[in-house]
Structure 1
Amino acid sequence: MTSLILLAAEKESAEVTDWAARIGWVIGLALFVVLVYWLMREGWKWRGTLQSDLPDLPTAPDSPGPAKLTLSGRYHGSTTAGQWLDRIVAHGLGTRSRVELTLTDAGLDVVRPGANDFFVPRAALREARLDKGIAGKVLTEGGLLVVTWAHGDKLLDSGFRSDRAAEHNEWVDAINTMIETNSTEGAEQ
């Protein structure tokens, strides 16, 4: 019986949670997350300020002609041509969104619900290719349709991914054929 009393006397009560310290840590962590988010947002705005020399995005003509190809998918952003990590954020070009692409004789119409639409005139198109990545998005080899185009005095790469990736090759062929036709017509004149 004495040993039972001794065992009961040796048991300690559970440690009491220090709520003040725990709440302090949670608030500190929340402030850190807010600070990191604010710094990222300021960096995005600063990048937009540095790229403010880009002219306004062209809009589609009133009658661009019949559609040669259409594509429904995702717009993954634009970068400086050849530099797949140098994202362009000016004029909303850095905003990822859904996209409806339409290729006509006049050029490439990019309609983005919830973001700025733009139009790439036929004369501004430089190249179309399949690639695996653009700033913020890396896919399997050939999983991204990249269109290089001239805007102001800069060459830009814009990345698109179709809902049906098998369409990408047809788009590359059609755009590159359009560019070759445009350059041979210009050479003849």
Structure 2
Amino acid sequence: MRAVLTLVTLLVLVGLVALMWWGYRNRRKRQAHLPPFPAAPAELLEKVRAGTAADLLPPSTGVYASTVTDASWQDRVAAGDVGFRSDATAHLLADGVLFDRTGAQPVWIPAESVLDARTAPGIAGKVMGRDGLLVVRWRVGDHEFDTGFRADDKDDYQTWVPALRSLTGGTA
């Protein structure tokens, strides 16, 4: 009897994993029309990692939560690895915003793509409560995205939100 219950439990777990994989695969298919995200310029990435970049604000360490479409704060982008959470350091530069992620590709948001910045209670993959995340609204082509970042020091948001909004030229 115990062997049967163990086998049923394993089958249920394998079935659940298969359903999650199937759902994520279908999400990728639904989002196939999304444009490719901009890549961080190699020379800028080298300067940031060497500590010689001209950051407008001190870098902020924390967790890159995810990037979602403007349709919903739960509509995680499945293209590449931008939908996956990782430790990161956020850099605000005159040319844009760089989320230098540990174990994943950096996420680069050019300054001309930034539409707005705000704090939010959550985004797909991370719910923190009131003002727990820094969220950058940005555009690639005709599509808008929100990228969430949870800073280790929440006081950073008081300087980051206005500084990010200044990248928009006051259009936010």
Q: Give how far 1:79 is off.
A: 1.1
Q: Which residue of 2 aligns with 1:37?
A: 17
Partner Cα separation in structure 1 for residue 107 and residue 39 of structure 2: 5
Partner Cα separation in structure 2 for residue 108 and residue 123 of structure 1: 10
Are the counterparts in 2 of residues 105 and 122 from structure 1 also a CA contact under 8 Å?
A: yes
Partner Cα separation in structure 2 for residue 108 and residue 82 of structure 1: 22
The percent identity for this pair of structures is 33
Range with bigger deviation, 144-153 or 54-63: 54-63
| 1:161 counterpart = 2:150 | yes
SS of aligned partner of 1:88: coil
Partner Cα separation in structure 2 for residue 85 and residue 60 of structure 1: 25
Q: Which residue of 2 aligns with 1:68?
A: 56
Q: Give how far 1:161 is off.
A: 0.4
Q: Which residue of 1 aligns with 2:75?
A: 86
Relative to its length, the structure with more helix (as a share) is: 1
Q: Which residue of 2 aligns with 1:105?
A: 94
Q: Give how far 1:53 is off.
A: 2.0
Partner Cα separation in structure 2 for residue 53 and residue 92 of structure 1: 16
Range with bigger deviation, 104-113 or 81-90: 81-90
Are the counterparts in 1 of residues 82 and 107 from structure 2 also a CA contact under 8 Å?
A: no
Consecutive unaligned residues of structure 1, counting only runs of 5 or more, are 1-20, 184-189
SS of aligned partner of 2:80: helix
Letter in 2 for 1:67: D
| 1:50 counterpart = 2:38 | no
SS of aligned partner of 1:26: helix
Q: List structure 1 runs of 4+ shifted beyond 6 angstroms.
A: none
Q: Which has the higher contact order (CA 8 A, sep 6+)?
A: 2
Partner Cα separation in structure 2 for residue 109 and residue 147 of structure 1: 11
Match of 2:120 among 131, 135, 142: 131
Q: Which residue of 2 aligns with 1:142?
A: 131
Q: Give how far 1:175 is off.
A: 0.4
Partner Cα separation in structure 1 for residue 110 and residue 125 of structure 2: 26
Are the counterparts in 2 of residues 49 and 90 from structure 1 also a CA contact under 8 Å?
A: no
SS of aligned partner of 1:102: strand
Consecutive unaligned residues of structure 2, counting only runs of 5 or more, are 48-52
SS of aligned partner of 1:34: helix
Provide TM-score, normalisation by structure 1. Answer: 0.80
Partner Cα separation in structure 2 for residue 66 and residue 82 of structure 1: 34
Letter in 1 for 2:165: N
Provide TM-score, normalisation by structure 2. Answer: 0.87
Q: Which residue of 2 aligns with 1:24?
A: 4
Q: Give how far 1:174 is off.
A: 0.4
